[in-house]
Amino acid sequence: MYKRTVKRKILCEGYGLHSGEFSRVTIHPGSDHDRILFAKKVGNVMRYIPLGIEKVKSTMFATSIGDDQFTVFTVEHLLSTLHGFGIDSAIIEIEGDEIPGGDGSASLFADAILDAGIFNLPAKKDFLTLDSGFMVEHNSGYIKYAPASSLVIDGIIDFAHPRILKQEYTYRNNPEQFHAGIARARTFGFLKDYNTMQSLGLAKGSSLENTVVLDENDVMNAEGLRFPDEFVRHKILDLLGDLYTIGSPLKGHITSYKSGHALNHLFITKFASLVEKQFVTEHPVLQPALVFTA
């Protein structure tokens, strides 16, 4: 299996879900030597941030990456699309501070990539995997890992709300299931939490046009849900994006229960440390396969 990039330059633009501010993202094709790079013009100089877990700056209601040069907010839906379509190499140039939110799902990016096309690079794709399982827990949730020959995610959520309750969905990572199964699943939130999020400077761009909003009893959006289990599908969408903050595709069977960005980051950080430890054990005279610093 070979590394992949987009066939041509892609432009996506719109308003951020949290900032409410306009931004523009240009996805440039990458070479077989590249990885996923975020780029932004700072002053008169183009600065670059290579994707990696050490670049994660915040996991509060969304995932943001950055360093002392710049920060990009709400990257998870874009990263999920790249992970789902197997895009290993691309330069993500951003004008603004937050990735455009589109309709609250990954459709903005998925449709654009499918329209542009995907190109196989000459370099072989490198997957990260482990020989043994582990589990991490946070609050009332957990994520478990078991070795597998591909990436499979069993997502489980359980909300005390009559329109959600307990939902389960199994996702097998490939472009077809990504596009048909989870790309259109929208972010969701509760009306009772809206004022709190606003006071934290969040959800300024959130509306019924880009968020599934629930009051005490029902979904407030006039068009209803896109899937009966849209909520758990979106949680898997977020997890798939947060997993890709490691910068490489994964193999393994993941079971996620009540996941969120903080738990996702705790899991992928632990996964990365175990991959590095496994590599050093198997190849004591070689350098680790994972490099955490740019």
The DSSP symbol for 185 reads: P
- Per the CB < 8 A criterion, the answer to whether 130 and 250 are in contact is no
* Helix %, strand %, coil % of the chain (to 5): 25, 35, 40
Radius of gyration of the chain (CA): 18
Nearest residue to 123 (alpha-carbon basis) of 248, 290, 251:
248
As a whole number of angstroms, the distance between CA 197 and CA 212 comes to: 15
- Is residue 265 among the annotated active site residues? no
Instruction: Name the active-site residue from 18, 261, 265, 283.
Output: 261
Q: Going by C-beta distance under 8 Å and a sequence separation of 6 or more, which residues neighbour residue 206? A: 17, 18, 189, 194, 197
As a whole number of angstroms, the distance between CA 77 and CA 75 comes to: 6
As a whole number of angstroms, the distance between CA 187 and CA 14 comes to: 16
Burial 244-253 (b: 16+ CB within 10 A, else e): bbbbbbbebb
Q: Are strands 165-172 and 151-159 parallel, antiparallel or unpaired?
A: antiparallel
Q: 258: number of CA atoms within 13 Å, CB side?
A: 11
Q: Are strands 36-42 and 90-95 parallel, antiparallel or unpaired?
A: parallel
Cβ count near 198 (within 10 Å)? 12
Catalytic residues: 261
